[in-house]
């Protein structure tokens, strides 16, 4: 059986399509499509995002999504075992890189805690009291500036993202938002891109507990882990756009 990447490339070329043409139709960046055809999984990131992109690309080309994901799962683990067994020098270098990543992650965590603390003080100073009914759940605040994301993240100056450790909104939770608003609350890590009135307001990979509210006339939401993101439109919970690992996209009129 041909390699997984070769199957995707052959199916695409059989349709006479370029990577950029496919990218425009399924809204996955061409660099990620090229990484799939080259089986360069590290260029995409976590396995959950690889599986989501594989399913979306496979459906577009008429391949069996679950068969493709099964082939990926079977190919990924043996390759890692072989590298550790036969290339000890690479393992040592990986260990050093891992230590560096731990140090970087710790530094980012310290900066993130400082940002959240400063943001909380600013919100407390500028907050407007809001009446709540009996039994309403406390909600994460939306701050005036964005926090960085670990991969390929880019948010507009007016965007507000507040990650809160361990936060999981219940059925009664509803972000404080009025008319012409869209809010997202992450219960699991996910890549997310929100385009409001034609402008990208949020893009990147964000942790569980992140929440954000947008205002405008229309919003295009694309999610890399649909089962981990709650959507609220004008304060109304519209639920999740799919299951964990699914890539989903929807347009909302605000």
Q: pLDDT (tens digit, 9 = 90+) per residue, 2-34?
A: 788 899 999 999 989 999 999 999 999 999 999
User: Which residues are CB-neighbours of 108 under 8 A, at least 6 positions away?
Assistant: 148, 150
List phi, psi (to 5°) of 147.
Answer: -110, 150
Residue 164 burial (CB < 10 Å; 0-12/13-18/19+)? middle
pTM of the model: 0.34
- Has residue 136 got a pLDDT over 70? no
- 125 pLDDT band (50/70/90 cuts)? low
Taken in order 76, 80, 82, 87, is the CA torsion positive or negative?
positive
User: What pLDDT, on the 0 to 100 scale, is given for residue 93?
Assistant: 57
Residue 113 pLDDT > 50: yes
Q: Going by C-beta distance under 8 Å and a sequence separation of 6 or more, which residues neighbour residue 203?
A: 149, 152, 153, 154, 155, 192, 193, 194
Q: How confident is the model at residue 111, as a pLDDT?
A: 87
Contacts of 186 (CB under 8 A, 6+ apart): 192, 206, 207, 208, 209, 210, 211, 228, 229, 230
pLDDT at 128 over 80: no
Confidence label for 110 from pLDDT (cuts 50, 70 and 90): confident
Cβ(136)–Cβ(172) under 8 Å? yes
Find the mean pLDDT for residues 101-113.
84
Q: Is the pLDDT of residue 158 over 50?
A: no
Confidence of residue 139 (pLDDT cuts 50, 70, 90): very low
Report the share of the chain in percent with pLDDT over 90: 50
Q: Of 174 and 134, which is predicted with more confidence?
A: 174
Q: How much is the pLDDT for 126?
A: 54
DSSP-based three-state secondary structure for 148: coil
β-bridge mates for residue 239, sequence order? 231
Q: How many CB atoms lie within 10 A of CB 231?
A: 21
**Residue 56 confidence (pLDDT):** 94
pLDDT at 250 over 60: yes
For 35-65, what is each residue's pLDDT tens digit?
999 999 999 989 999 999 999 999 999 899 8
Task: Please give the torsion angle defined by the CA atoms of residues 28, 243, 137 and 175, in that order, rounded to the nearest 10 degrees.
Answer: 30
Which has the closest alpha carbon to 149: 139, 140, 159, 141?
159
Query: Nearest 5°: CA angle at 29, between 23 and 34?
Result: 85
């Amino acid at each position: 059986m041909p390699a997984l990447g070769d199957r995707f490339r052959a199916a695409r070329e059989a349709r006479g399509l370029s990577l950029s043409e496919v990218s425009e139709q399924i809204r996955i960046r061409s660099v990620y499509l090229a990484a799939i055809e080259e089986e360069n999984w590290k260029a995409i990131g976590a396995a959950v995002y690889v599986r989501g992109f594989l399913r979306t690309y496979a459906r577009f080309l008429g391949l069996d999504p679950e068969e493709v994901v099964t082939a990926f799962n079977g190919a990924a683990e043996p390759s890692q075992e072989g590298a550790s067994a036969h290339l000890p020098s690479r393992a040592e270098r990986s260990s050093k890189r891992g230590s560096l990543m731990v140090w970087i992650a710790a530094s980012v965590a310290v900066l993130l805690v400082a940002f959240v603390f400063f943001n909380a003080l600013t919100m407390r100073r500028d907050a407007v009291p809001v009446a709540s009914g009996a039994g309403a759940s406390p909600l994460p605040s939306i701050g005036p500036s964005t926090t960085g994301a670990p991969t390929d993240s880019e948010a507009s100056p007016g965007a507000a993202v507040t990650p809160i450790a361990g936060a999981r909104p219940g059925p009664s939770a509803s972000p404080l938002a009025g008319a012409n608003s869209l809010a997202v609350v992450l219960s699991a890590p996910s890549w997310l891109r929100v385009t409001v009135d034609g402008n990208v307001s949020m893009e990147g990979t964000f942790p569980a507990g992140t929440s954000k509210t947008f205002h405008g006339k229309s919003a295009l939401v694309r999610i890399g882990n649909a089962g981990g993101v709650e959507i609220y439109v004008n304060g109304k919970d519209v639920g999740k756009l799919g299951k964990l690992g699914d890539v989903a996209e929807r347009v909302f009129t605000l």
